[in-house]
Amino acid sequence: MILEINPTSKINGARAAECTAELLKKAIKANGEARLLVSTGASQFEMFESLVTLDVDWSKVEVFHLDEYVGLPYDHPASFRKYLTERFVNLLPSPLKAMNFVNGELEVKSMIKDLSAKINSKPIDVGLIGIGENSHIAFNDPPADFDTDEAYIIVELDEKCKAQQVGEGWFAKPEDIPTQAISMSVKQIMKCKTIISVVPYPVKAEAVYNTMNKPFSNMFPSTMLKKHGDWRLYVDYDSAKLIYNID
């Protein structure tokens, strides 16, 4: 793995975006196209702000995303499809080759079947995989399923995950959050050629500590990332404060 610690979340996001752009350009040069997997949430704000300004031929990039709530309308403030459209897709200088959303408003099993076929048709070059406050990756809350071979699965959200969504302002209270979500599985995430995790802010300090120091366990799903051959973790001083003495 590669660990990079940056003074601020803004610098951290910019550095991760630069790495992402370089890897996409490398894939385009080698294969004529690139495939990108993206996550959402407040921790990705600065990364997307920087990424959309960088010199990438987006017309040759096909994008997938990690997860979405079951039944949540597109126009809800917490919709990940809305988030990605407004913060990424619509800000690019040219249209993407393709944007493959997880759509929780469709018939879920059929949608999962179609999306799984698309994502498994070719390897993902870069996966932008955030880490939740409960150490989840995508919506694989503890105890995460490390064994399923399915690309996308239906999961139940735990209370700490719901608390994070409220804390970030996506919902007013936990009772407003759908109980189920569609999530990319852990095994599918691990198929990415490179995984980049952007994990800033003080609220992520415990998750960063657990990821780095806990033994491999599905009670801390992000520990799986340490088994990946090319995992790059970007943290700021605030999120790194429990693993290093930073003034």
2-236 domain in CATH 3.40.50.1360?
yes
For position 105, what pLDDT does the model report? Answer: 94
For position 245, what pLDDT does the model report? Answer: 67
* Tens of pLDDT, residues 95-126: 999 999 999 999 999 999 999 999 999 999 99
Residue 247 has pLDDT above 70, yes or no: no
Lowest mean pLDDT among 32-36, 103-107, 135-139, 164-168: 164-168
Query: What is the mean pLDDT of the segment spanning 224-231?
Result: 98
- Calculate the average pLDDT of the chain: 95
For position 164, what pLDDT does the model report? Answer: 87
Residues 139, 145, 151, 157, Cα dihedral to 10°: -20
Residue 238 has pLDDT above 70, yes or no: yes
* Tens of pLDDT, residues 56-71: 999 999 999 999 999 9
Lowest mean pLDDT among 53-62, 63-72, 155-164, 220-229: 155-164
Residue 246 has pLDDT above 80, yes or no: no
* Tens of pLDDT, residues 132-146: 999 999 999 999 999
Query: What is the mean pLDDT of the segment spanning 212-221?
Result: 96
Q: Please give the model's pTM, rounded to 2 decimal places.
A: 0.95
